[in-house]
Amino acid sequence: MTDRFHVLIADPIHEDGRKLLEADGAFAVDTDTGLDAAEIVARIPRYDALIVRSKTRVTAPIIAAGSALKVIGRAGIGVDNIDVPAATERGIVVFNTPDANATTTAELTIAHLLSLSRHLPQADRSVRSGAWTPTRFVGAELAGKTIGIIGFGTIGRLVSARCAGLKMHVLAYDPFVAPEIMAESAAEPADLDHLLAVADYVTLHCPLIDKTRNLIDAVRIARMKRGARLINCARGGLVDEAALVAALESGHLAGAALDVFATEPPKGSPLLGLDSVVLTPHLGASTEEAQQAVSVRIAEDIARFLTTGAAEAAVNLPRISSEQLGRTRPYQELASALGGLVGALVDAPISELVVRLFGAVAELDPRPITAEALVGLLSKRMAGPVNRVNAAHHARGQGIEVRESRSEHARDYVSLIEVSAVTKAGATTVAGTLLGGRLPRLVRIDAYDVEAVPKGHFLFTRHSDQPGVVGALGGILARERINISRMHVGMDANGGGNGGEAIALISTSSPLPEAVLAEVEALPAVKQAVIFEL
């Protein structure tokens, strides 16, 4: 059979994944691990698919040499060892397996929960040393206790279900997940401060991004219930380890269980000397079942893509004709900026995203434009890659319904894109156009006309329409030596004020420090202040 797809497995994967491909007559599979870059470059031209784990680096030269290469599969979560932009440029789809080890990580969380509650590691060490002092290890029952889950993605939801089975009261905090989704997983929505104040156990399952780095710092640890316990099986940078050590030594926290650390391994960390801490060496995905799951999942995804073209779990762009890309690309870039802007302005769970196309742009297929609006909205809220292929999948996971509409009737512009985010409090709408068919411009925020290039650092305010506000904003920025590149004061699109409220959109030469934002928020006339980057 000469028309089979050729697959190269360059890193060891579980045999079940390999057998799945070998059993299908559509695939010819070669397993050759330990190849260096030059050897892969020499061999890759004949292969349609390449499967790796974390060891093999799939570089731009390897991708360029893959004249027949259609898909690269990473059996695991991270794709930092794959040059995704180079693959995308050549129309090669990249897959990973972000949820295949979710159950394993959730179960490790439960193991740490039980270890903390019953002092199991300490009791084990005591018995091995020859001691027999059960009164030293009086623990606590989990039934009836409150656990707070920070981050309610796939793993957080699995943890919630398991804790509910242990008869625990589950609180959940995730600013990007609708309360209805939490309720479906037996969790009660809570704001972060309330969760920290009442939870007996706090477990972290959120991505490590700029906004979540040191999420659990000295301030938030001080807000935690005295005697509470902290579990982190997500990312090491989520916890300020020095603050955690201080809280454990003072007795404010009764214990902690950590599978991840700011630096791995944590050599010299004071955590190593604390008996109230349970430590494991990043075991989240280290089970036989997880290794099998990631291997089978990547084999299934690659087989499905090569035989049907389905690419729901891809991390980069789908195959699309160069002609279609050329026509939609400027509008996709505009839609991404509009999605990022509306996401910055809305800090509540979004139940619906509406994308409306008016005028000439309505003649195009709206799906890639809508997908890019989702990319802009979600990309800074999630740890993994978000793109046109997987944006809708992630939106469903966040409880966001996506709608789109088209009208050939122009609204003041040859082409106009509106993006609306709907929450329980109402809708926030932004609109943009292309000047000359190629230069993106933001032209409206809710009922206010503006004209801004949607790129760079911004400060946005909603404030009372009164004298002195703009001067006060400019004075704060001037004192901090932050240059104002452009300033736009919004006017009601209907030609007047909007109940005594106005907006300001200020493009700055550099990002505002949080302290400066707090000063802006403290101005009596300011009702909302947001900093963001497009």
CB 68 within 8 A of CB 297: no
Beta pairing class for 93-95 and 426-435: unpaired
Q: Is 392 exposed, middle or buried (0-12, 13-18, 19+ CB in 10 A)?
A: middle
Q: How far apart are CA 256 and CA 237, in angstroms?
A: 15
Beta pairing class for 401-407 and 448-452: unpaired
Both structure tokens of 407: 């009208």
Q: H or E element: which one contains 443?
A: strand 439-445
Per-residue pLDDT of the chain (534 residues; tens, 9 = 90+): 458 999 999 999 999 999 999 999 999 999 999 999 999 999 999 999 999 987 899 999 999 999 999 999 999 876 878 998 888 777 789 999 878 888 999 999 999 999 999 999 999 999 999 999 999 999 999 999 999 999 998 899 999 999 999 999 999 999 989 899 999 889 999 999 999 999 999 999 988 878 899 999 999 999 999 999 999 999 889 999 999 999 999 999 999 999 999 988 999 999 999 999 999 998 887 888 988 999 999 999 999 989 987 777 788 765 454 466 567 889 999 999 999 999 999 988 999 999 999 999 998 888 889 989 999 999 877 766 677 767 787 888 889 999 999 998 877 889 999 999 999 999 999 999 999 888 999 999 998 989 999 999 999 999 988 888 889 999 999 998 999 988 988 765 554 544 588 999 999 988 899 899 999 999 999 999 999 998
Facing residues of 415 across strands? 359
Exposure string (b/e) for 194-226, b if CB count within 10 Å is 16 or more? Answer: ebbeebbbbbbbbebbeebebbbeeebbeebbe
- Separation in Å, CA 12 to CA 83, 84, 294, 404: 20, 21, 12, 44
Residue given tokens 């802007």 in the structure block: 341
Beta pairing class for 228-232 and 253-258: parallel
Q: Is 264 a catalytic residue?
A: yes
Residue given tokens 């360029």 in the structure block: 64
Beta pairing class for 501-508 and 457-464: antiparallel
DSSP assignment string, 327-395: HHHHHHHHHHHHHHHHHHH--S---EEEEEEEEGGGGS-HHHHHHHHHHHHHTTT-SS---TTTHHHHH
Measuring CA to CA, which residue among 222, 161, 167, 160 is closest to residue 196?
Answer: 222
Q: How far apart are CA 359 and CA 405, in angstroms?
A: 12
The catalytically annotated residue of 194, 282, 327, 486 is 282
Both structure tokens of 100: 């295949």
The catalytically annotated residue of 15, 39, 264, 521 is 264
How many CB atoms lie under 10 A from the CB of residue 52? 24
Measuring CA to CA, which residue among 356, 359, 392, 358 is closest to residue 377?
Answer: 392
User: What is the pTM (predicted TM-score) of this model?
Assistant: 0.67
Q: How far apart are CA 81 and CA 426, in angstroms?
A: 42
Residue length of the chain: 534
Q: How far apart are CA 233 and CA 249, in angstroms?
A: 22
Q: Is 282 a catalytic residue?
A: yes
Name the strands in the sheet holding 146-150, side by side, starting at the edge strand that comes first in the sequence.
188-189, 169-173, 146-150, 201-204, 228-232, 253-258, 277-279
Q: Give the SS3 label for residue 68.
A: coil
The catalytically annotated residue of 53, 205, 235, 488 is 235
Q: How far apart are CA 81 and CA 265, in angstroms?
A: 20
Q: What is the DSSP letter of 319?
A: P
Measuring CA to CA, which residue among 498, 345, 312, 515 is closest to residue 425?
Answer: 345
What residue ranges in 45-197 does DSSP mark as E strands?
A: 49-52, 71-74, 93-95, 146-150, 169-173, 188-189
Q: How far apart are CA 183 and CA 431, in angstroms?
A: 34
